[in-house]
Amino acid sequence: MKLQTLKVNNVSPEEFITFWSVQYDYPFDDLYRKNIELDKFDPETLREFFLWKNGMRLSGNKETAFNNIVQHIDVINDLKQNGFTPDVFEQYFGNTATIWKIFLMHIICPSEYPIFDQHVYRAFRFINSLPNEDLPENKIEKSKKYFDEYRPFYQQIQKEANGFSDKVIDEALWGFGKFLSTYHKMLS
């Protein structure tokens, strides 16, 4: 028999990030790390980013969505090199699925637009003592959750977590959110 307990401690942002970032385990992470610092992307680089984000090969609708994105690689590189302009971004990518749209903003401006997914959203809700809930299916509501709630929360952590890269902060939130998904299932 293996009996265990969990002990919850209130910690600093640095302690939180240090503890939870090592819990991060995601496939294809090298595809993200080797490309995020590039000044210019090519079609293969974009494919590698979206393979990483998807966690597996793109198929069906995701392949079609990717092809719609990559056809505007010149716009992506212009936004990356000359400054992000929301109006231009919306003109070309406004109809992209919300999570991929946010991810595209992230790879263009990593420190301005954090990665967003179900795990980091779950961590955000827990940290802020909000009820556990899934990301809304509605595109407009999902965008509101990101821009009105998650992004300001993330920016606060950036300010308080001196010395940690955006990727490591994301890994900590992802690791904690992933843990919470298992924890919530155990309580159900």
Q: Which residues of the chain have pLDDT under 70?
A: 2, 4, 184-188
Query: Over the stretch 35-64, which tens digit does the pLDDT of each residue have?
Result: 999 999 999 999 999 999 988 888 898 999
- Where along the chain do its domains lie? 14-187
Q: Are 119 and 178 in contact (CB under 8 A)?
A: yes
CA dist 72 → 39, 59, 76, 91, 108 (Å) = 16, 20, 6, 11, 13
**Whole-number percent of the chain with pLDDT over 70:** 96
pLDDT value at residue 4: 67
